[in-house]
Structure 1
Amino acid sequence: MSAATALRAAVHATLANDGALSAALGGARVYDVPPAAPEFPYVTLGEAQLLDWSTATEAGEEHRLTLHVWSRQGGHGEAHAITHLVQEALHDMSLELTGARLVNLRFTQADIRREAGGLTYHALVRFRAVTEGG
Protein backbone atom coordinates (compact mmCIF):
# COMPACT_ATOMS: atom_id res chain seq x y z
CA MET A 1 0.00 0.00 0.00
CA SER A 2 1.38 3.44 -0.88
CA ALA A 3 1.87 6.04 1.84
CA ALA A 4 -0.80 8.19 0.16
CA THR A 5 -3.35 5.38 0.23
CA ALA A 6 -2.46 4.48 3.81
CA LEU A 7 -2.77 8.11 4.91
CA ARG A 8 -6.15 8.49 3.21
CA ALA A 9 -7.42 5.30 4.89
CA ALA A 10 -6.17 6.46 8.31
CA VAL A 11 -7.75 9.91 7.90
CA HIS A 12 -11.07 8.32 6.91
CA ALA A 13 -10.99 5.86 9.83
CA THR A 14 -10.08 8.61 12.32
CA LEU A 15 -12.92 10.86 11.20
CA ALA A 16 -15.44 8.02 10.94
CA ASN A 17 -14.64 6.93 14.51
CA ASP A 18 -14.67 10.40 16.08
CA GLY A 19 -17.67 10.54 18.43
CA ALA A 20 -18.06 14.32 18.48
CA LEU A 21 -17.90 14.53 14.69
CA SER A 22 -20.39 11.67 14.24
CA ALA A 23 -22.78 13.38 16.66
CA ALA A 24 -22.53 16.67 14.77
CA LEU A 25 -23.10 14.89 11.45
CA GLY A 26 -26.05 12.91 12.80
CA GLY A 27 -24.37 9.57 12.14
CA ALA A 28 -21.64 7.93 10.09
CA ARG A 29 -21.43 10.47 7.28
CA VAL A 30 -17.74 10.57 6.37
CA TYR A 31 -17.26 9.39 2.80
CA ASP A 32 -14.42 8.70 0.42
CA VAL A 33 -17.07 8.43 -2.30
CA PRO A 34 -20.40 9.93 -1.21
CA PRO A 35 -23.68 8.24 -2.05
CA ALA A 36 -25.73 9.61 -4.96
CA ALA A 37 -28.08 11.52 -2.62
CA PRO A 38 -26.26 12.02 0.70
CA GLU A 39 -28.03 13.28 3.78
CA PHE A 40 -26.67 16.62 5.02
CA PRO A 41 -24.41 17.43 6.78
CA TYR A 42 -21.52 15.22 5.68
CA VAL A 43 -17.76 15.16 5.10
CA THR A 44 -15.92 13.88 2.03
CA LEU A 45 -12.28 13.13 1.40
CA GLY A 46 -11.19 15.25 -1.51
CA GLU A 47 -8.17 16.18 -3.52
CA ALA A 48 -4.61 15.18 -2.69
CA GLN A 49 -1.34 16.56 -3.92
CA LEU A 50 1.87 14.57 -3.44
CA LEU A 51 5.36 16.02 -3.45
CA ASP A 52 8.68 14.23 -3.12
CA TRP A 53 10.13 14.80 0.34
CA SER A 54 12.90 12.20 0.15
CA THR A 55 16.34 12.61 1.67
CA ALA A 56 19.57 10.94 0.57
CA THR A 57 18.74 7.96 2.78
CA GLU A 58 14.95 7.94 3.32
CA ALA A 59 11.98 7.91 0.96
CA GLY A 60 9.39 10.50 1.92
CA GLU A 61 6.38 12.41 0.66
CA GLU A 62 4.62 15.65 1.48
CA HIS A 63 0.84 15.30 1.19
CA ARG A 64 -1.53 18.21 0.78
CA LEU A 65 -5.02 16.96 1.58
CA THR A 66 -8.36 18.66 1.10
CA LEU A 67 -11.43 17.52 3.01
CA HIS A 68 -14.89 18.87 2.22
CA VAL A 69 -17.62 19.71 4.73
CA TRP A 70 -21.14 20.04 3.32
CA SER A 71 -24.03 21.63 5.20
CA ARG A 72 -27.53 22.85 4.39
CA GLN A 73 -28.42 24.28 7.78
CA GLY A 74 -29.15 28.01 7.55
CA GLY A 75 -26.08 30.20 7.87
CA HIS A 76 -22.42 29.32 8.15
CA GLY A 77 -22.65 28.08 11.75
CA GLU A 78 -22.94 24.35 11.12
CA ALA A 79 -20.20 24.36 8.47
CA HIS A 80 -17.88 26.23 10.85
CA ALA A 81 -18.64 23.89 13.74
CA ILE A 82 -18.03 20.73 11.69
CA THR A 83 -14.87 22.22 10.21
CA HIS A 84 -13.61 22.82 13.74
CA LEU A 85 -14.34 19.20 14.69
CA VAL A 86 -12.45 17.93 11.63
CA GLN A 87 -9.48 20.10 12.62
CA GLU A 88 -9.56 18.81 16.20
CA ALA A 89 -9.77 15.19 15.06
CA LEU A 90 -6.72 15.39 12.77
CA HIS A 91 -4.37 18.27 13.66
CA ASP A 92 -1.11 16.98 15.14
CA MET A 93 -2.50 13.46 15.48
CA SER A 94 -0.22 10.43 15.30
CA LEU A 95 -2.07 8.16 12.89
CA GLU A 96 -0.90 4.60 12.29
CA LEU A 97 -0.17 3.99 8.61
CA THR A 98 0.25 0.61 6.94
CA GLY A 99 3.69 0.47 5.32
CA ALA A 100 4.73 4.05 6.13
CA ARG A 101 5.32 6.37 9.08
CA LEU A 102 3.47 9.63 9.58
CA VAL A 103 5.98 12.33 10.55
CA ASN A 104 3.35 15.02 11.06
CA LEU A 105 -0.17 16.06 10.12
CA ARG A 106 -1.07 19.74 10.39
CA PHE A 107 -4.14 21.82 9.61
CA THR A 108 -3.19 24.62 7.19
CA GLN A 109 -6.35 26.38 5.97
CA ALA A 110 -10.13 26.36 5.78
CA ASP A 111 -12.33 28.17 3.26
CA ILE A 112 -16.03 28.24 4.10
CA ARG A 113 -18.49 29.57 1.55
CA ARG A 114 -22.06 29.45 0.35
CA GLU A 115 -22.48 27.57 -2.91
CA ALA A 116 -24.43 28.90 -5.88
CA GLY A 117 -28.15 28.70 -5.19
CA GLY A 118 -27.68 29.64 -1.53
CA LEU A 119 -28.79 26.34 0.03
CA THR A 120 -25.47 24.60 0.59
CA TYR A 121 -22.48 25.70 2.63
CA HIS A 122 -19.16 24.15 1.64
CA ALA A 123 -15.93 24.16 3.61
CA LEU A 124 -12.60 23.15 2.10
CA VAL A 125 -10.41 22.03 4.98
CA ARG A 126 -6.74 21.64 4.11
CA PHE A 127 -4.01 19.66 5.83
CA ARG A 128 -0.33 19.05 5.18
CA ALA A 129 1.24 15.73 6.11
CA VAL A 130 4.74 14.30 5.77
CA THR A 131 5.35 10.56 5.56
CA GLU A 132 8.45 8.39 5.47
CA GLY A 133 8.67 5.02 3.77
CA GLY A 134 5.95 3.46 1.71
Structure 2
Amino acid sequence: MTIANVALRAAIHDALLADSALTGALGGDRVYDEPPRDAEFPYVTLGEARLTDASTDGGQTQEHQLTLHAWSRKGGHREAHVIAGALLQALDDAPLSPEGHRLVNLRFSIADIRRESDGRTYHALVRFRAVTEPLE
Protein backbone atom coordinates (compact mmCIF):
# COMPACT_ATOMS: atom_id res chain seq x y z
CA MET A 1 0.00 0.00 0.00
CA THR A 2 1.29 3.47 -0.89
CA ILE A 3 1.73 5.95 1.93
CA ALA A 4 -1.00 8.58 1.59
CA ASN A 5 1.17 11.70 1.82
CA VAL A 6 3.69 10.38 -0.71
CA ALA A 7 0.91 9.42 -3.12
CA LEU A 8 -0.83 12.78 -2.70
CA ARG A 9 2.39 14.76 -3.30
CA ALA A 10 3.06 12.73 -6.46
CA ALA A 11 -0.49 13.38 -7.73
CA ILE A 12 -0.14 17.11 -6.99
CA HIS A 13 3.24 17.26 -8.74
CA ASP A 14 1.80 15.53 -11.83
CA ALA A 15 -1.27 17.80 -11.85
CA LEU A 16 0.87 20.93 -11.65
CA LEU A 17 3.10 19.81 -14.52
CA ALA A 18 -0.01 19.07 -16.60
CA ASP A 19 -1.53 22.51 -15.98
CA SER A 20 -0.83 24.73 -18.98
CA ALA A 21 -1.71 27.98 -17.18
CA LEU A 22 0.85 27.23 -14.46
CA THR A 23 3.59 26.04 -16.79
CA GLY A 24 2.92 29.10 -18.95
CA ALA A 25 3.32 31.41 -15.94
CA LEU A 26 6.53 29.60 -15.02
CA GLY A 27 7.91 29.54 -18.55
CA GLY A 28 8.18 25.75 -18.52
CA ASP A 29 8.00 22.65 -16.35
CA ARG A 30 9.56 24.28 -13.29
CA VAL A 31 7.82 22.39 -10.48
CA TYR A 32 10.26 20.69 -8.13
CA ASP A 33 10.36 18.66 -4.96
CA GLU A 34 13.94 19.88 -4.58
CA PRO A 35 14.97 22.60 -7.05
CA PRO A 36 18.22 22.16 -8.95
CA ARG A 37 21.09 24.29 -7.73
CA ASP A 38 20.87 26.48 -10.84
CA ALA A 39 17.06 26.62 -11.09
CA GLU A 40 15.82 29.37 -13.35
CA PHE A 41 13.24 31.77 -11.85
CA PRO A 42 10.29 31.60 -11.55
CA TYR A 43 9.65 28.15 -10.17
CA VAL A 44 7.47 26.24 -7.69
CA THR A 45 8.57 23.83 -4.97
CA LEU A 46 6.53 21.33 -3.01
CA GLY A 47 7.06 22.29 0.58
CA GLU A 48 6.08 21.33 4.07
CA ALA A 49 3.38 18.81 4.81
CA ARG A 50 1.51 17.97 7.99
CA LEU A 51 -0.44 14.75 8.25
CA THR A 52 -3.03 14.07 10.97
CA ASP A 53 -5.50 11.30 11.72
CA ALA A 54 -9.00 12.42 10.78
CA SER A 55 -10.75 9.11 11.36
CA THR A 56 -14.06 9.20 13.17
CA ASP A 57 -14.95 5.53 12.93
CA GLY A 58 -11.66 3.74 13.44
CA GLY A 59 -10.85 4.03 9.72
CA GLN A 60 -7.73 5.42 8.12
CA THR A 61 -8.89 8.86 7.01
CA GLN A 62 -6.02 11.35 6.97
CA GLU A 63 -5.96 15.14 6.80
CA HIS A 64 -3.06 16.74 4.93
CA GLN A 65 -1.92 20.33 5.21
CA LEU A 66 0.36 21.09 2.27
CA THR A 67 2.42 24.13 1.41
CA LEU A 68 3.59 25.03 -2.07
CA HIS A 69 6.22 27.73 -2.61
CA ALA A 70 6.45 29.98 -5.66
CA TRP A 71 9.69 31.89 -6.24
CA SER A 72 10.02 34.92 -8.50
CA ARG A 73 12.64 37.55 -9.30
CA LYS A 74 10.88 39.42 -12.08
CA GLY A 75 10.50 42.58 -10.02
CA GLY A 76 7.49 43.41 -7.92
CA HIS A 77 4.81 41.15 -6.53
CA ARG A 78 2.85 40.65 -9.75
CA GLU A 79 4.51 37.45 -11.00
CA ALA A 80 4.30 35.83 -7.56
CA HIS A 81 0.58 36.67 -7.41
CA VAL A 82 -0.02 35.27 -10.90
CA ILE A 83 1.74 32.01 -10.00
CA ALA A 84 -0.14 31.74 -6.69
CA GLY A 85 -3.39 32.21 -8.62
CA ALA A 86 -2.39 29.52 -11.10
CA LEU A 87 -1.66 27.13 -8.21
CA LEU A 88 -5.09 27.85 -6.75
CA GLN A 89 -6.81 27.26 -10.10
CA ALA A 90 -4.88 24.05 -10.73
CA LEU A 91 -5.50 22.43 -7.36
CA ASP A 92 -8.55 23.79 -5.54
CA ASP A 93 -11.11 20.96 -5.62
CA ALA A 94 -9.03 19.11 -8.25
CA PRO A 95 -10.12 15.51 -8.97
CA LEU A 96 -6.73 13.93 -8.24
CA SER A 97 -6.21 10.18 -7.90
CA PRO A 98 -3.36 9.50 -5.46
CA GLU A 99 -2.16 5.93 -5.90
CA GLY A 100 -3.88 3.57 -3.47
CA HIS A 101 -6.08 6.33 -2.00
CA ARG A 102 -9.28 8.25 -2.59
CA LEU A 103 -9.07 12.01 -2.40
CA VAL A 104 -12.10 13.13 -0.41
CA ASN A 105 -11.33 16.80 -1.02
CA LEU A 106 -8.55 19.26 -1.74
CA ARG A 107 -9.18 22.87 -0.79
CA PHE A 108 -7.21 26.10 -0.83
CA SER A 109 -6.52 27.44 2.68
CA ILE A 110 -4.36 30.57 2.51
CA ALA A 111 -1.74 32.37 0.46
CA ASP A 112 1.01 34.62 1.79
CA ILE A 113 3.10 36.61 -0.69
CA ARG A 114 6.13 38.59 0.44
CA ARG A 115 9.48 39.97 -0.59
CA GLU A 116 12.43 38.05 0.82
CA SER A 117 15.25 39.74 2.75
CA ASP A 118 17.50 39.86 -0.34
CA GLY A 119 15.15 42.56 -1.66
CA ARG A 120 14.72 40.98 -5.09
CA THR A 121 13.10 37.58 -4.55
CA TYR A 122 9.34 37.32 -4.10
CA HIS A 123 8.01 34.26 -2.31
CA ALA A 124 4.42 33.02 -2.36
CA LEU A 125 3.39 30.37 0.16
CA VAL A 126 0.16 28.70 -0.95
CA ARG A 127 -1.44 26.27 1.47
CA PHE A 128 -4.01 23.57 0.82
CA ARG A 129 -5.93 21.12 3.00
CA ALA A 130 -6.71 17.65 1.71
CA VAL A 131 -8.43 14.57 3.11
CA THR A 132 -7.63 11.06 1.88
CA GLU A 133 -8.87 7.56 2.57
CA PRO A 134 -7.23 4.30 1.53
CA LEU A 135 -8.86 2.39 -1.29
CA GLU A 136 -10.50 -0.81 -0.13
Matching of residues 58-97 of structure 1 within 5 Å: 58-97=59-98
Distance 2:46 2:118 in 1: 23
**1:108 aligned partner:** 109
Give 4+ residue runs of structure 1 displaced > 3 Å after superposition: none
| Unaligned 5+ runs, structure 2 | none
| Unaligned 5+ runs, structure 1 | none
**1:27 aligned partner:** 28
Displacement of 1:55 in angstroms is 2.6
The reply on whether 1:99 has 2:100 as its aligned counterpart is yes
Displacement of 1:58 in angstroms is 2.3
> TM-score, normalized by length of structure 2?
0.96
Displacement of 1:84 in angstroms is 0.1
- For the residue of structure 2 that corresponds to 1:59, the secondary structure is coil
Distance 2:113 2:15 in 1: 22
Distance 1:94 1:58 in 2: 22
The reply on whether 1:132 has 2:133 as its aligned counterpart is yes
Distance 2:76 2:30 in 1: 20
Amino acid at match of 1:39: E
**2:13 aligned partner:** 12
Aligned length: 134
Identical positions, percent: 62
> TM-score, normalized by length of structure 1?
0.97
- For the residue of structure 1 that corresponds to 2:71, the secondary structure is strand
Displacement of 1:57 in angstroms is 4.5
Distance 1:98 1:110 in 2: 27
